[in-house]
């Protein structure tokens, strides 16, 4: 085995050790529920918004997913993912039961934001955990 292969395998093992503390747990489920409720409240706000601030009401979905999602994900990325998945999943029953456009917009927008944040945090977390593991 070459030195490069040993070094790569060593880095992979160290990264796996550094990420063992991150796992799905009850708190992830709690953040899914919190995200679902926050989304439902936000969608009813959009539905009841006066015509003069309707555009701002639709933009509120971006703010209520990005800001809490990033803050929660800084503590534990799986909790942040849970919040965003809960937020997005609330759009499906809302589009079936209440309003097709608002529910679909919420689902699609949150799913798009989730993918962007997942790629950023996945890449950044891998880089940070590799740096942390190599310094141990």
Instruction: Name every residue whose Cβ is closer than 8 Å to that of residue 111 and which is 6 or more positions away in sequence.
Output: 88
Q: Is residue 115 over pLDDT 80?
A: yes
Lowest mean pLDDT among 3-7, 15-19, 41-45, 83-87: 15-19
The whole-number pLDDT of residue 132 equals: 60
Average pLDDT, integer, range 83-109: 93
**For the stretch 70-106, what's the b/e string if a residue is b when 16 or more beta carbons lie within 10 angstroms of its beta carbon?**
bebbeebbbbbbbbbbbbbbbbeebbeeebeebbebb
Q: Is residue 94 over pLDDT 90?
A: yes
Percent pLDDT > 70 in the chain is 73
Helices (H), the chain: 3-18, 26-48, 54-75, 77-89, 91-97, 100-135
User: What is the per-residue pLDDT across 62-90, written as a single tens digit (0 to 9) for each?
Assistant: 899 888 988 888 888 888 889 999 999 99
Q: Is residue 92 over pLDDT 60?
A: yes
Q: Which two tokens stand for residue 101?
A: 């456009």
The whole-number pLDDT of residue 6 equals: 59
Average pLDDT, integer, range 29-50: 94
Q: Which two tokens stand for residue 97?
A: 């039961």
CB 61 within 8 A of CB 42: yes
Q: Is residue 41 over pLDDT 60?
A: yes
Average pLDDT, integer, range 95-104: 93
């Amino acid at each position: 085995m070459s030195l490069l292969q040993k070094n790569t395998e060593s880095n992979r093992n160290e990264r796996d050790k550094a990420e063992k503390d991150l796992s799905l747990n009850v708190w992830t489920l709690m953040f899914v529920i919190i995200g679902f409720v926050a989304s439902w409240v936000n969608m009813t706000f959009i539905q009841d918004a006066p015509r003069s601030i309707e555009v701002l009401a639709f933009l509120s979905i971006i703010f209520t997913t990005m800001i809490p999602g990033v803050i929660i994900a800084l503590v534990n990325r799986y909790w942040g993912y849970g919040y965003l998945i809960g937020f997005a999943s609330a759009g499906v029953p809302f589009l079936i039961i209440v309003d097709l456009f608002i529910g679909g917009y919420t689902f699609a927008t949150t799913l798009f934001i989730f993918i962007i944040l997942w790629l950023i945090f996945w890449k950044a977390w891998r880089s940070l955990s590799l740096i942390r593991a190599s310094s141990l």
